[in-house]
Amino acid sequence: INADTKSLKQIAAESKILTKSAQEGNINPDLLAGGTFTVSNLGVLGIESFTPVINPPQTGILGVNCIVERVRSQNGQITVYPSMSLSLTYDHRALDGAPASRFLMDLKNALENFPVLLAGN
């Protein structure tokens, strides 16, 4: 609720509380209404890729997939690195492709520099 006004640390703490309440079946239904964006994490179940479906009237949903090892050539050497794909579904009536792409690029950069992101909180 009002995630745009909270730090990453605050969001993480509140998410844990809400998740526990939902799992125990005693979450306030009002807390499940009125959202504009959802994050769906199937990566914790080992899912490498999925297409999340928007919950109307929300405008977008981000699918978080599991981390897998990938191989690449770097400076003439083969290296193994951790990689995680993200799947973004959005309502094109509310959001154009360019801002959606910028959102994914910004998120990618934040995740690749996670210690810097945490230091800001």
Active site residues: 92, 96
The per-residue pLDDT of the chain, averaged, comes to 91
**pLDDT tens digit sequence for 56-66:** 899 999 999 99
Helices (runs of H) and strands (runs of E) counted in the chain: 3, 3
pLDDT at 121: 56
Higher pLDDT, 105 or 11: 105
Higher pLDDT, 76 or 115: 76
pLDDT at 118: 74
How far is residue 40's CA from residue 56's CA, in Å, rounded to a whole number?
15
Q: Which CATH superfamily includes the segment(s) 36-119?
A: Chloramphenicol acetyltransferase-like domain (3.30.559.10)
Quickly tell me which residue has 């998410």 as its tokens. Answer: 15
Q: pTM here? A: 0.82
**Residue 119 banded pLDDT, cuts 50, 70, 90:** confident
Domain boundaries, the chain: 1-33, 36-119
